[in-house]
C-alpha cells in the first residue's frame, strides 16, 4: 500500500472515530503544521502565544471536522491542515489584540515592583516583603523536582513543555501536574506558617 493510500485509510478511520488513526495523522504532520504556525505567527505574538496550544487546537478542530471534507490526496490534505493552523493563528492574534496584550506596552516585573513600592505605605511594603519571604521559604522547603519545576516556571518563565524536557518528565501534562502539586504543598506550608 502506498503512503497516499495509507493516508486515505487513516483519514477514513479517523472520520469513524478511530483515535489511533487520528493520533497517527497528528504524528505524521506535526512538523509541517508546527512550521506553518511558526511562519504565520507575528514576532510580537510569539512571546505571548503558546504554539503548543495552537497546534493542539488546530488538530482538535481539524480532526473533528474530517466529515466535512472530501479527501483528495496528501497535498490537498496538508494544505487543508495548514489552512486550519493559519485560521487558529489569526484567531489567537485577534484574541490577544482585543485583550490589548501588546508586548510593547508590558514592563519587566522589576520595574513594576519598584513602581508599586513607591506607591505603597511602609506597612504595605512590610507585608509584601513578608509575603515574598514566606513564598521563598516555601519554595526552599520543596524537595527535588517539585522545587525545580516551581523555580523554572516562576523565575525563568518556561512553558510546561520546556520544563518537561529540562526535568526529564514524560510530557507537558506531567510538568503541569507536578507544578500544581508543588503549589498545593507550598500553600500548606504557608498556611502552617500563618497558624504559628
- For residue 119, the SS3 value is coil
Do 119 and 86 belong together in one domain? Answer: no
Q: Is residue 103 part of a domain?
A: no
pLDDT of residue 106: 53
Check if the beta carbon of residue 183 is closer than 8 Å to that of residue 150.
yes
pLDDT of residue 101: 47
Do 13 and 71 belong together in one domain? Answer: yes
pLDDT of residue 105: 54
Do 52 and 138 belong together in one domain? Answer: no
Do 136 and 175 belong together in one domain? Answer: yes
Specify burial of residue 25 (Cβ count, 10 A radius: 0-12, 13-18, 19+).
buried
Q: Is residue 80 part of a domain?
A: yes
Q: Which of the two residues, 194 and 138, has the higher pLDDT score?
A: 138
b/e map 6-24, b = 16+ CB within 10 Å: ebbebbebbbeeeeebbeb
How much is the average pLDDT of 102-108?
53
Do 122 and 181 belong together in one domain? Answer: yes
| Whole-number Å distance between alpha carbons of 122 and 101 | 32
CATH assignment at residue 47: 1.10.1740.10
pLDDT of residue 171: 92
% of the chain at pLDDT higher than 90: 3
- For 172, the domain range is 109-195
Q: Is residue 104 part of a domain?
A: no
Q: What is the mean pLDDT of the chain?
A: 79
How much is the average pLDDT of 83-112?
68
pLDDT of residue 193: 58
Angle between helices 19-40 and 3-15 (to 10 degrees): 110
Amino acid at each position: 500500500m502506498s503512503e497516499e493510500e495509507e493516508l486515505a485509510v487513516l483519514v477514513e478511520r479517523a472520520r469513524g472515530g478511530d483515535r489511533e488513526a487520528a493520533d497517527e495523522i497528528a504524528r505524521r504532520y506535526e512538523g509541517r503544521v508546527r512550521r506553518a504556525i511558526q511562519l504565520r505567527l507575528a514576532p510580537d505574538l510569539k512571546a505571548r502565544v503558546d504554539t503548543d496550544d495552537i497546534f493542539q487546537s488546530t488538530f482538535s478542530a481539524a480532526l473533528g471536522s474530517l466529515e466535512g471534507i472530501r479527501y483528495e490526496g496528501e497535498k490537498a490534505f496538508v494544505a487543508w491542515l495548514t489552512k486550519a493552523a493559519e485560521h487558529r493563528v489569526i484567531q489567537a492574534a485577534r484574541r490577544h489584540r482585543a485583550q490589548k496584550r501588546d508586548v510593547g506596552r508590558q514592563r519587566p516585573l522589576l520595574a513594576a515592583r519598584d513602581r508599586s513600592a513607591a506607591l505603597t505605605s511602609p506597612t504595605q511594603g512590610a507585608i509584601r516583603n513578608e509575603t515574598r519571604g514566606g513564598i521563598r521559604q516555601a519554595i526552599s522547603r520543596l524537595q527535588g523536582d517539585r522545587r525545580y519545576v516551581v523555580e523554572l516556571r516562576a523565575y525563568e518563565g518556561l512553558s510546561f513543555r520546556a520544563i518537561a524536557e529540562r526535568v526529564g518528565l514524560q510530557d507537558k501534562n506531567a510538568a503541569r501536574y507536578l507544578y500544581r502539586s508543588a503549589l498545593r504543598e507550598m500553600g500548606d506550608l504557608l498556611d502552617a506558617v500563618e497558624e504559628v
